[in-house]
């Protein structure tokens, strides 16, 4: 590590790294002991206590709502469909990014950083949310964006309005950001700055802690509705969101079926990333013998024609969500997972998953429609949804 550079989960030289203890959480989601079976209730309390010992900067308005979407369910031909509204986290149009950034921003300030450093594609909502979080915490923000300079979309325009400095890799592949970030960190350090390097999308075990807590939050909401046998579907990009949900799901005793729809990379690569991050997350939470395995990570290929490109199924699902529930989902990420959720319900639940191959494989796989409720985890992307709507006018 470059001297003076702070990276997630590490401490500056000469100081002890942050570690999870068992101090009570402040403002952590309630465990609703009356509504949960004893084992999950105890697990949720333990999770909240372990996460409460980690530095945290509150950004999101929690809990986010869990709402039924009966008209959308009827339009998509599913059984009961509920939407976990993380598009309503309430911070800088950040959606799911707010939960990840709460722990990353706190770690940066606790470690004495003065600059947040991250990167991604030009349309990265995580980059925009990081710029806003940096402003909130009184830090500078440096963004490394893949490709040559070009006209900013809404996310990059907002990032700049929040004071982010932007530099470009000149190469369109997103991997060019990964290669450039350490070099930029060294450059900033040489200039006397103290950067905190956050990988693309906030994909770290520390950021995933936010979604381990979110798993407990959802479990409490489901218990309040008398639901337990459900399938939870979440979009997958860099993997931090699903990794945290996997970690929390394991700690809670694996109460549901959990599936991710990869809109970014091949499912096998995404699964490896998610599993590694989930294990890192549980290590930070000092979860003892809790250990996710490959069977805990189910990811379906939802990319369609490719990353950043709309798919016909995703476009149809986005249109149905807008027309039936007034629900905005962006066409290149969230909508692809919503289409997968519809295919999952139509294809017979977990049996459909076994068939593989995205929504088409789900529909082909499983002995008729499933009546098991599906929970669609809406991760945000509102800026992209608005831009898409404007483009179709």
DSSP, residue by residue, 202-242: G-SHHHHHHHHHHHHHHHHHHHHTT--S-EEEEEESSSHHH
The 3-state DSSP class for residue 212 equals helix
Give the strand order in the sheet containing 81-85.
66-68, 81-85, 374-378, 231-236, 257-262, 299-301
Count of Cβ atoms closer than 10 Å to residue 74 Cβ: 12
The tokens for 334 are: 């969230």
Kindly give, in sequence order, each residue whose CB lies less than 8 Å from that of residue 226, ignoring residues fewer than 6 positions away. Answer: none
Active-site pick, 46, 124, 180, 370: 124
CA gap 60, 379 in Å, rounded = 13
Q: Give the HSE-up count for residue 137: Cα atoms under 13 Å, Cβ half-sphere.
A: 29
Please give the backbone phi and psi of residue 80, each rounded to the nearest 5 degrees, phi first: -55, 135
The tokens for 326 are: 């007034």
CB 84 within 8 A of CB 376: yes
Question: Is 124 a residue of the active site?
Answer: yes
Kindly give, in sequence order, each residue whose CB lies less than 8 Å from that of residue 183, ignoring residues fewer than 6 positions away. Answer: none
CA gap 353, 343 in Å, rounded = 9
Dihedral of the CA atoms 303, 309, 310, 314 (nearest 10)?
20
Task: List the one residue out of 199, 181, 229 whose CA is nearest residue 101.
Answer: 199
Active site residues: 124
């Amino acid at each position: 590590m470059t001297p003076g550079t702070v990276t997630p989960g590490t401490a500056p030289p000469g100081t002890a790294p942050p570690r999870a203890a068992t101090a009570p959480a402040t403002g952590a989601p309630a465990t609703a002991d009356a509504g949960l079976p004893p084992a999950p209730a105890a697990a949720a309390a333990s999770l909240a206590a372990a996460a409460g010992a980690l530095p945290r900067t509150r950004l999101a308005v929690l809990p986010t709502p869990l709402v039924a979407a009966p008209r959308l369910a009827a339009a998509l031909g599913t059984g009961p469909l509920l939407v976990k509204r993380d598009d309503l986290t309430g911070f800088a149009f950040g959606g799911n990014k707010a939960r990840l950034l709460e722990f990353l921003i706190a770690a940066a300030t606790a470690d004495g950083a003065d600059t947040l450093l991250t990167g991604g594609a030009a349309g990265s909502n995580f980059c925009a949310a990081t710029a806003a979080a940096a402003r909130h915490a009184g830090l500078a923000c440096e963004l490394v964006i893949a490709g040559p300079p070009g006209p900013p979309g809404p996310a990059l325009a907002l990032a700049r309005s929040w004071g982010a400095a932007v530099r470009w890799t000149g190469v369109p592949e997103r991997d060019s950001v990964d290669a450039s970030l350490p070099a930029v960190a060294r450059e900033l350090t040489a200039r006397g700055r103290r950067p905190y390097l956050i990988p693309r999308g906030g994909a770290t075990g520390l950021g995933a802690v936010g979604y381990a807590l979110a798993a407990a939050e959802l479990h409490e909401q489901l218990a309040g509705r008398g639901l337990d046998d459900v399938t939870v579907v979440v979009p997958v990009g860099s993997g931090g969101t699903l990794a945290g949900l996997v970690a929390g799901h394991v700690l809670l005793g694996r109460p549901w079926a959990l599936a991710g729809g990869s809109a970014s990379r091949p499912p096998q690569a995404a699964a490896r990333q998610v599993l590694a991050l989930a294990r890192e997350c549980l290590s930070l939470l000092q979860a003892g013998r809790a250990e996710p395995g490959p069977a805990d990570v189910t990811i379906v290929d939802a990319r369609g024609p490719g990353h950043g490109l709309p798919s016909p199924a995703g476009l149809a699902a986005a249109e149905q969500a807008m027309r039936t529930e007034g629900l905005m989902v962006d066409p290149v990420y969230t909508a692809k997972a919503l289409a997968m959720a519809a295919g999952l319900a139509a294809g017979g639940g977990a049996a459909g998953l076994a068939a593989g191959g995205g929504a088409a494989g789900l529909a082909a796989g499983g002995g008729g429609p499933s009546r098991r409720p599906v929970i669609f985890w809406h991760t945000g992307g509102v800026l992209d949804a608005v831009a898409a709507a404007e483009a179709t006018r």
